[in-house]
Structure 1
Amino acid sequence: MRKIIKYSLIIFLSLFILAFLIGSGLFIHYATTAPKLDVSKLESKPSSIVYDKDGNIIADLGQEKREMVATNEIPLTLVDAITSIEDHRFFNHRGVDPVRIMGSVLHNAKSDTTQGGSTLTQQLIKLSYFSTNKSDQNVKRKAQEAWLSVQLERKASKEEILTFYINKVYMANGYYGMRTAAKAYYGKELKDLSLSQLALLAGMPQSPNGYNPYTNPEAAKTRRNTVLSSMLQYEKISKDDYDKAVAAPIDEGLQKLSPSITIPAYADNFLKQVIEQVKNDTGQDVTTGGLKVYTTLDTNAQKYLYDIVNSDEYVSYPDNDMQVASTVVDVSTGAVAAQIGARKQDPGTIFGNNQAVNTDRDWGSTMKPITDYAPAYEYGVYDSTGKYLSDNPYNYPGTDIPLYNWDHKYQGQITVRRAITQSRNVPAVKTLESVGLDNSAEFLNKLNIKYQTMGYPNGISSNTNESGREWGASSEKMASAYAAFASGGIYTKPYYVTKIIDDEGKETNLKPEKIRAMKETTAYMMTDMLKDVITQGTMTNGYIPGLIQAGKTGTSNYTDEQFEQVVAEYGMLDNLMAPDENFVGYTPHYSMAVWTGYKNKLNPLYGPKLAVSLDVYREMMTYLSQNVPNEDWVMPEGVYRNGSELTVSN
């Protein structure tokens, strides 16, 4: 028995030593691949400069909104609050704290809540060198953080490290650094804040938006009280101080926020997407500074679109509540040239709602060309624009649910061209049935329009029960999808940034690759028919004399239940009442999608309100087409004309 115990201990110790050696070797390997420590990186970065397509500055984001605090200006109470909640052994370790690590391991093993083992020094290194995304918090990254933390502790004093941290952390609402937050939130210097207010600031860096006292006051209060409890536990404050501080209202002393950055109102929605693209493509945050961001923005076009949407000089709007969202895409590059996501936003709004990229509204019949008819030509189901289709009473496939046209009438045998120009629903869904849902979904996927579960109603609608921008349609998605028609079948995912240059001079290209989404013949056949929508179809209000253009209108429908609610609220205002009215139009140079409606879907569009999307398009496309050639599309090989109709040879 003793031999068994003896051999077991030997085996256990051997395995332990082996694991230790392997772990040590792995740590050394990871440490040697860590970035070189540069103390200047711990300081706030210079501003991020955002440029338009011509190299002109749109906005200057960054350092000027971060007010630095000197070490001798930091109140001791703030130091006690930060170290109590984040790293109470801060003044006793040298960058990495084995006691803290073991404590967090034991805590996490016994509790449902997790506790980190990183020191303040490690947190500073993470903020300065690495991504803060949870997916990036792996063993390699932790080893590199630890190695750089140990080096930093040899080069900088504890006071300097704390100062770096206090000036570096994000404090929500676009503010960086605790002094900046103190002046923005309370209108005071750090030294003039109360214990309660300092505890709030000390607790925010762990989850700045989650503990934002303006938007999440209850969570902020809980976090503040946790900080105060830690200060009491480590004897940094008395019980009397604690009781008074936790009793203070969380909004005590908070003042109305001013915008954290200054950007032109006309570019607000566009810049929001710029920041998002850089974050998604590179993991970098434009608002933390240090980048030169080169965008696709056509400033003159953006200003003109903003004026069209926000003044009554160009378009007659029924009221200030009606909303407009629009995206303009440069056909040759696929770049977003201009975008407006809201009308009549509150002055001073920073990165407000951008309906231009949201997919929660229905694009109606603008879906027919890309969901039904283009796939029919792409997959050889149809070969002529003069093919006859049946516009007669019809049920959705596999159901006894009748499908009606917008006028509740039928036209019998009509050509594909007429079915499109008159926006008939029955021929559209019949076409989708012939194409097949799978083929249609495959075609749409190439245009970055997706449904988790696609059904026959999607033949005349973009309605989807899924949430999130990856599902359904938006003005951004629709402008780019129709741009593929305009460019002969080439699709480019919409983008806002061409390249970024970081503070070390490293350049990153962010232009997406172009793909062939459809045959050139398919694109030409569709464009030829969509030209007629303007001159003899449903979009004559968008007609621009002499301009070669094509497009499609789209009106959404209410469900029976919603329609009853609308009538009960407003009465029967018109024969046609809808929650959304859309238009997507294009020339060989630009593609533009426009959505109109109200935030409350039950506030209906009717009468002249249904013409606003076309009015916006007409005014903007007239402006865009002033200084570009008015040229027609060239018929590709494989297509021939017979009278007014086209046929494609397979």
Structure 2
Amino acid sequence: MNYHKGNRLKKRTRLYQKRWFQISLLILLIGTAVGASYGISYLKIRQEKAEAFDLSAISKLEIPSRIYDRNGIEIGQIKIEDRRPVRLETVPYHLIQALTAVEDSRFFEHSGVDFIGIARAVILNLKAKRITQGASTITQQLAKQCYPVEFKTRNINTKVIEAFLANRIEKSFTKPQILEHYLNRIYFGSGYFGIESASRGYFGKSATDINVLEAATICGLIKNPSRLSPRNNMELCLKARNHVLNRMHKEKMITQSELSKFLEEPIQLSQVKGEQNSYIQEMVRLQVIEQIGLENAGKGGLKIHTTIDNETQRVAIQSLYRNLTKTENHPEFKHQTYANYQEKEISPGPIALAKKNAPNYLQGAVIMIDNQTGGIVALVGGRNFKHSQYNRALQSKRPTGTAFKPFVYAAAFSENYFPGSRIKDSPIVNRSVAIGGSTGILGEWGSESETVTYKGTITAREALVESKNSATVRIGKKIGRSKVVDLVQRAGVKSAMDEYDKTLLGSSSASLHEICRAFTIFPNGGQTSNNVHVISSIVNPKEETIFE
């Protein structure tokens, strides 16, 4: 007997047949499709932006123009960035190892983006609960270096564009080419751009000659060049170098015994060479622009040959510094000294930090020119170009003083006088020289001794040798002041001369280079040298002489 008659067992509904599931699935599929569509569109837009970059910028470097003395010795640069490009084949293999070990251990395996490295960095950063490791490859870093403006803002958008660009770079350049461009472009701190400048700047040698320790030191700076530079923080630099060595050991590039030995070694830097030729460099820069134009000068890579003699320049600098310091050390010298100003520079007080005063210490200048050509052999425009860019050898004008007297006698010898002519050396009324002077005798005018002595009638030769003021004024007045001024101007002095007889004793102001050039009439038999100049020739990067 069937007790369940009329009752049928209900068929069980499967999950995918349920209405709510179907609706949810449909929403999920639509959301996925929309998300995928948006994702593809997002990536496509970033890829198109990456495709718009001009890859020729990767091969373009700002190369400084180099300045050479008359013997071919490099004495300075005209630069924005201190860079010396080199070929990759000249770089030692252990440098490549140090670089890839610390910056991109899978460089030779990936195609611009290291997804394994990204995953590893994410895991390590999550464990540390902070960002301890990045995942940018060498190629990605090169992209950022070549297009700093475009990648100035760091966010997800620029990271995606950077990844596409890195992939594009990998397709356009070989791995060795990428390494070469990277090593020539990257900043290594202390003003050094590129591996060659860094090697020379830190260790005084070419990148070709650096050892494993030096290579590890340089590659350790890349993460934060300014902070880790051994010139700024030796302790942090040492830690960074040791990190590179440990990475090299982990990558089996050095042995355990080598690692232990290297970790015990200190960092040995070369001595920093001071910028002693900065006044010359600035003068050269201005003359280069004048000769070949701003646009051509700005391209860089020029070889600028000058008339400077490096050894003479060194001696001139030392002589100026030594004599000015000697004057400052005199017991009666009561003004600011160079040493005082330097101390304030190193340890400025709160007032000095708020307002930095211009230096007020004793200054001087030196110039030496070739009598025949007018080429500058040595030039010092001041004691410290960093403190003051004012070139006193060219720009400053001071009363010529005793240095003017030879021109008075030169003008006299051009007339009816000769070295044996007799001149009266006796007191002369002050008003004949001074403006508005009415009393007193000549003595205070140009005298370089505390007492004034007179010798009566003497020869012109004696008067010049002993720098006799009254005798000089007498002979100058007899031939006429205008003839003296005319001779000086024909000798190359363009500065205005005072229209009074005190000019005969050097009261008029002129620049040091004007007087130096004017003096060339004496060894040249009355002929002045050519215009004062410092550049002898300019050669462009194609080894073509564009100025001579």
Structure 1 length as normaliser, TM-score?
A: 0.39
Rg larger in structure? 2
Structure 2 length as normaliser, TM-score?
A: 0.46
